[in-house]
Structure 1
Amino acid sequence: MTSTEVRVPFAARAVPYLPLGLFAALGATLAYVVRLPCRTGGWNDQVTTYTNFCYTDIYPLYFDRALSTQDPYFAAVPFDKQVEYPVVLGEVMQVISWFARAVGADVGAQAVRFYDLTVILLGVCLVVGVLLMAAVAGPTRRWDALWYAISPAVVLAAYINWDLVAGALSMGMLLAWARRRQMLAGVLLGLAIATKFYPLMFLGALFLLTLRTARWRPFLVTLGSAAGAWIVVNAPFMIFAWEGWRRFYVFSQERGVDWGSPWLFFQSKGIPVLGTGDVSKLGMASLAILCLGIAVLALAAPRRPRLAQICFLALAAFMMTNKVWSPQFVLWLVPFAVLARPNWKPLVLWQLAEVWYFIAIWLYLVAQSPFSRNDLGIGDDTYFTAVWGRVITIGIMMAFVVRDILRPDKDVVRQDDVDDQGGGVFDDARDRFALTPAVR
């Protein structure tokens, strides 16, 4: 440190992030309030759960996945009752269930306690994820993280499932990469993939930008660290609880078309693309085509794209071609959508579509329930307006990001005189490979 440099105390550096942390805590609290009608007894009645829009997987899975009695991966239960999540998430559920069981014997009270403890963890993950996102965005754009802290879609979907755990790990990975701590980035990425599968798409984004810049060593360190972390947490279960470990992968492969997926529209209308195997292959082929297009874009653009832009495009492609698109998947995309293009108009349009889908899915399920009156729900056509609303609005955001990549002068982030605030070794890196002669 030279005589003119001054080390800023941590407390001083943390002060600008304090309001964002408070907003994230407010968002976490509002998400809890949304589900209070169910927490006080509504979960025991399906129609009440749907009409109060307070469904969560957390409460019923405490009973249905043997969490109330034993370890989810080692439990002697039928295959379809084993935990269908990767091991980090499964063990998070297990540890919380230990605390829930330790306090009292009544299994109903245990389930509510399991939900409350899980919500505390998820609320912390939301706050941490928001702060990490703000750090990635940089000083001039840290307030963009408000979208992740308190947007309506995040508040509504926060506690449906455990997705916020993977969100915090993914944001940690992105910040570690931005700070050029490649080994830490790899470890966090490996843990994120062992929590939810979608962060695997970020490896593709890193690879494409590595190919363009020839910064191979940082990428290989991150790749090796990610593989190592994934193996460390998975190997014990692969060795000692094979059937429980492979449940997630078998379930993902055999699962048919489910709620939220555009493929469900074609199935309901009798358009012949169906059969579980056909949809799996069609989904994979569609994803491969979109990823090929993203690769060409990344390698042929007049200026190297930002990492967040490629991550967003890859993740959006993964979601749009999947066999299932649950309401909580919005939590995957929000931080990357905002980092890729923090323009409020398309973001508001997309948030409205997500809120409409959140309302529509529960009203649609009410109509399917044998215990409800016919006037409580909605039909197929109304429901599918919500399904396609998400597809169209995300497609619009993807189109704007592609436009920004092809015309960097339109990128609002780069107008702040930055190259790639989250790019790490890619920031201000020279191009070493490109598909177009002009770029080369």
Structure 2
Amino acid sequence: MSELPVVVIGAGPQGLAAAAHLVERGADVIVMERGDGPAAAVTEWGHVRLFSSWPELTDAAARRLLEPTGWTAPESGYPTGGEWVDAYLAPLAEALGEKVRYSTTVTGVARKGRDLTVDGGRKAQPYVVHTVDDEGNDARFLARAVIDASGTWTLPNPAGADGLSAVGEKRASEQISYRIPADVEASGGEHFVVIGSGHSATHTALRLSEVARRTPGVRITWLMRRGTVKQRFGVVADELPERAALGGRARKIIESGLVDVITDFRVAEFQQEGETLTITAENGKQVADVSQVFVLTGFRPDTSILSELRVNLDTSLQAVAGIAEEIDPNLHSCGSIGATGARELAQPEEGFFIVGAKSYGRAPTFLALTGFEQVRSVVAHLSGDVAGAQSNQLVLPDTGVCGGSGDLDEKDNGASGVCCGAPTLLQPQMRPVAVN
């Protein structure tokens, strides 16, 4: 199988970094990207600004691949997602050239000729990666190893407090968004509701507060499942300064009356009342006359493409089992987590690895730097560099405690509001909001 390529799923930050490391080591690689350009998921939140600064957002092997082209690494500042793509991820994908295949969605990964139940000869078989293009044409690719860097962006958590869609949530889909809004159009009398208590929810409340400032009669209600405003937005030690300032900004819009906060609100049902919604909590509380709902309750991994592989995931976090204890947000912050390399990420299927945000499952503590260290170690392992795979080259900032036992909201991905996720480690680019 040594003549076969390594297949990387996803041309995002970790997928492209993995490809750069493989190229540097002389390995054949194919990157499968569902979008029609690099970093399709990042592009979708291109209006949002990252908490991490430029030096923390580029991979070492990627820089070495890019520098001969005349590219120079940005030295400082906090880019938006769009700027990250334009100044780094798109040039990196261009440098990788035809190794990146766009409009190619991976629909499944298996062992050639062996379904999940078959033991005989399993380890001797290459991987087979099933794909479909944007015209519906399906294909299969053989690989000696597979690195799944497909992220979690496509599966936002629903509003329902039990982890499933609330009653009526799907029927009300036209009035519910699961993304930080880029622009919001509003007229007097509209009532916006934000559900969630992490950074994405905070950013959305801040953006909507600008609408309320400019448009008399607009109301903003922020629903949180537990805690108090003081618990959510108290002072937290954080070496990511852009994120450290977020709590203060949130306190200001709450204290000014621009945003009403309701805690102990676990969503059970959405009811259509003419052109508006009524949201009902598990304890019977209700919020009525709602025009638009923004649900920002975190993300979860899509494991459907792995149904024919033997994978070991933690039953609570849906994270790679080997790193679950290390990344448990009850115990760790983004900066207290150690390196998670090839040894910790190893699966029962030799040569298959889940990296990036997907490796963290529902845990919100992922940082780009962590992912770059993951792919460096994994590629070293696949190249037979045992010492390189086992070395630890990760240095992370101290980002505060993620919640502590008893304060973690398992669905909101870090209800204490001091964790960083992907892309919940982001800050919206504050620009004029369109108001009618």
TM-score category of the 2 structures, normalised to the smaller one: under 0.3
Name the one with the larger helix percent.
1
- Bigger proportion of residues as strand: 2
TM norm structure 2: 0.24
